[in-house]
Amino acid sequence: DIVMTQTPLSSPVTLGQPASISCRSSQSLVHSDGNTYLNWLQQRPGQPPRLLIYKISNRFSGVPDRFSGSGAGTDFTLKISRVEAEDVGVYYCTQATQFPYTFGQGTKLEIK
Amino acid sequence: EVQLVESGGGLVQPGESLRLSCAASGFTFSSHWMHWVRQAPGKGLVWVSRIETDGSSTTYADSVKGRFTISRDNAKNTVYLQMNSLRADDTAVYYCARGGFGTGTDYWGQGALVTVRS
């Protein structure tokens, strides 16, 4: 199975300041079709997960442009340009390149 | 609007069975893979199973293989998860999620809580 490792596991951030979460996979996430199926999910307290970013850097429908994704191969990053109060929650990277799909441990974003 | 509504969760004893349902609306159900993902209390997300559009192909996590069965009824826009021989470590919120076109699991339901306890 592909192991997804996120850092940090906790990220206290000041409102209006940027935040960054890293995700590393134990093997390349490049699929045989040439795509890299690395996604980012947000889970607000008491809510189900919500897709933010798919295929490394594509924002999903309705996702604010302060969220951006980057990376390639085995190293990926989610950035929030200016953190807002509604961004509090846990962020997961996940790979859909091969089964079983796997998730990072989650990074808890909280406001300082 | 895409909606996924799980039902069928509850409290069962070890060794018992339970069937979860997920009713879908707002999209062409028969065109999408469907997934089940679970989350134990206070823990992270764990993918459980997926089913292709016509139900002809299914995949399972090793931890549930041989005990859980995923199925779907495209006429009813519903995906199911039959869970047999339940164990305490199956206790979790079970989410159904839509498989997108290149987007992985793109829409998620609110989840159904399954508690396995003697």
Contact A92 B45 (CB under 8 A): yes
Q: Which residues of B touch A (CB under 8 A)?
A: 35, 37, 44-47, 50, 59, 61-62, 95, 97, 100, 102-111
Q: Which whole number is the average pLDDT over B37-54?
A: 98
- Residues A55-77 have pLDDT tens digits of 999 999 999 999 999 999 999 99
Of A37, A55, A102, the CB nearest to B47: A102
State the amino acid at position A66 in one-letter form: R
Of A51, A92, A106, the CB nearest to B103: A51
Q: Is the pLDDT of residue B102 over 90?
A: no
For residue A79 the two structure tokens come to 């950035």
What share of chain B in percent tops pLDDT 70? Answer: 100
- Residue A106, min C-alpha distance to chain B (Å): 7
- Residues A21-58 have pLDDT tens digits of 999 999 999 999 999 999 999 999 999 999 999 999 99
Of A96, A104, A106, the CB nearest to B104: A96
Q: Which H or E run includes B40?
A: none
> Which chain A residues contact residue B35 at CB under 8 A?
101
Q: Which whole number is the average pLDDT over A13-26?
A: 97
- Please tell me the predicted confidence (pLDDT) of residue B13: 98
For residue B101 the two structure tokens come to 């076109």
- Please tell me the predicted confidence (pLDDT) of residue A48: 98
Q: Is the pLDDT of residue B30 over 90?
A: yes
> Which chain B residues contact residue A94 at CB under 8 A?
45, 104-105
- Please tell me the predicted confidence (pLDDT) of residue B101: 87
- Please tell me the predicted confidence (pLDDT) of residue B103: 86
- Rounded distance between C-alpha atoms, residue A3 and residue B14, angstroms: 30
> Which chain B residues contact residue A100 at CB under 8 A?
47, 59, 61-62
Q: Which whole number is the average pLDDT over B58-80?
A: 98
Of A37, A105, A106, the CB nearest to B104: A37
Contact B105 A101 (CB under 8 A): yes
Query: What string of DSSP letters covers B23-91?
Result: EEESS-GGGS-EEEEEE-TT--EEEEEEE-TTSS-EEE-TTTTTTEEEEEETTTTEEEEEE-S--GGG-
What share of chain B in percent tops pLDDT 90? Answer: 96
User: Residue B9: pLDDT band by 50, 70, 90 thresholds?
Assistant: very high
Q: Which whole number is the average pLDDT over B96-116?
A: 95
Q: Is the pLDDT of residue A98 over 90?
A: yes
